[in-house]
Structure 1
Amino acid sequence: MVIAYGRAMNDLLSGWLTDDGHCLDVRVYFEDTDFSGVVYHARYLHFLERGRTDFLRLKGIGHRELAEGAYGEPMAFAVRQMGIEFLRPARIDDVLRVETRTHLLGGARIVLDQKILRGDEVLIEARVKVAVISPDGRPRRMPEAVSAILGAPAPSP
């Protein structure tokens, strides 16, 4: 099967929506590891960020569009708090799955639960509190259109 570059390719790179969130597969490369071939702890933040970003992307919400005011006033999402539990290490060449689920959708924040798995084995669990901010960094309410998109179930395939 041949897939043309463009939207179809971008969608493939962005993982997929599920009934209750999003999944993204990532491979562990040499650059993600320490000298022993184990993933360096800070690299998990990159994997989690990709999961959150691609969750938004597949929901139709791009960071650029948010910043440009596509939903009213310009806005952005900023991580306000993150709790991470490191349960097991990942290693070079592992294929990991980043799962992202909305735990709470509020007027000015989102709380997401994220996991990184290798097969059925949970390696990382994280709870991420994300604030809605204006371009000057002040908190603001989430536009109703964005809230509606984030609260909507995944479209049927």
Structure 2
Amino acid sequence: MHHIKLAEGSLGEEMVWVVRRMEIDYKAPARMDDLILIETRVSEIRGARVIMAQKITCEGRLLSEARVEAVMITKEGHPRRIPDEWRNAFTGN
């Protein structure tokens, strides 16, 4: 689901993803013009939040690792449960 469509109410209510918390371990620098690869996998989904693990590499060299906690909220700032369809897509079920 594209963020813009979500914000426009494609699920019946205007919602957005927000990053609630992020932890980053920097391992090595990236340089200008480096082609980097960002790998993201879902570690956990519960209620309105999803926790993702990210790795950033350049030519196989690990540059950073991150833990990202994102939450789905309404435009008023209230959390909303992640729909089962999305939950299944994230987990591959």
TM-score, with normalisation over the residues of structure 1?
Answer: 0.55
Q: Percent identity, please.
A: 40
Larger RCO: 1 or 2 (CA < 8 Å, sep 6+): 2
The partner residue of 1:129 within 31, 56, 69 is: 69
Q: CA RMSD in A?
A: 1.4
- The residue type paired with residue 121 of structure 1 is R
Which one has a larger percent helix, Structure 1 or Structure 2? 1
User: How far does the alpha carbon of each residue in 1:87-133 deviate from its partner, in whole angstroms, 9 at most, with x for none?
Assistant: 10111221111111111122210001011101111001000000110
Matches within 5 A, 1:63-102: 63-102=3-42
Q: Deviation of residue 151 (structure 1)? A: 2.6
Q: Which runs of 5+ in 2 are unaligned?
A: none
Distance 1:152 1:70, change over 3 A: farther
User: Contact 1:108–1:142 at 8 Å: present in 2 too?
Assistant: yes
2:78 and 2:39 mapped to 1: Cα distance?
Answer: 29
User: Contact 1:133–1:139 at 8 Å: present in 2 too?
Assistant: yes
- The answer for the alignment partner of 1:10 in structure 2 is none
The partner residue of 1:113 within 33, 39, 53 is: 53
TM-score, with normalisation over the residues of structure 2?
Answer: 0.89
User: Contact 1:71–1:146 at 8 Å: present in 2 too?
Assistant: no
1:96 and 1:138 mapped to 2: Cα distance?
Answer: 35
Aligned residue for 2:5, secondary structure, equals helix
- The residue type paired with residue 145 of structure 1 is E
Which one has a larger percent strand, Structure 1 or Structure 2? 2
Aligned residue for 1:95, secondary structure, equals coil
2:2 and 2:56 mapped to 1: Cα distance?
Answer: 23
